[in-house]
Structure 1
């Protein structure tokens, strides 16, 4: 077989393999990595996912975007962490065992708040869901009040979306 044909065949085979891997790691609708293995085993999970508007972010096992609040201190001391509104921004509850998919488990922790809740933390930052995110993949909480941001897999805040990305975000979010 000539070198050119062999190289072309290998390239096509590689592209086909990547397509199969991508198809297995995507939910087919949102463009995010599928947390199917995390969801299948039950219990809470942190999943590294990709957002078309925000880049790498963290979701729960159901692909709901998780956020951090800039007015929370990183690594808040036990029993003194501020308590934001729980109906709009419910904290992600901590559990004894948290599964991490694409997230360094050494960055996962918790803090006990004055109201007795024990939210999950990532990189020292308490994590929240946003009540206005109507479906998995929504990122409507990004930049709310200039204090709420999607969390990255390292616990940092996701960068502010560009105006073009913000316009696209008003649709599916991913």
Structure 2
């Protein structure tokens, strides 16, 4: 599965994104592109299939979208909403009403929201302390947004492995 374009981080800076957030923006956009490429024609009936007791492709798509949404709330120094807690409680549960395309689109939309947030931040904001979760664990705005990006990349890798086991590549 060849991609004619270089990876996102090799295409130059993303306009209006602060320099310190360029790597996170590149990683999120790379995740979007890879998910779309890997899941072209992915069969709906395999979306919630677990392999070797590991998470399904559907879970990975739900989870990275939810984590990105939650990290953005924490980065804005907001508590999670009831809607976010509800989404979190359903992550991992098969949602037969959602298609592969809908789950991919949801992550792509959340990534665009994140990039819009990135454009509003300056270096001073990136260094501000932020609390995470009910335990109010310490982080910073930059730490939260970097985590969202690297976390997405990790799950894209896991998604690819799961997809490759479910649908072995043709040689």
Same fold (TM over 0.5): no
Q: Which has the higher strand share?
A: 1
Q: Give 1 or 2 for the bigger CA radius of gyration.
A: 1
Higher helix share: 2
Taking structure 1 as the reference length, the TM-score comes to: 0.29
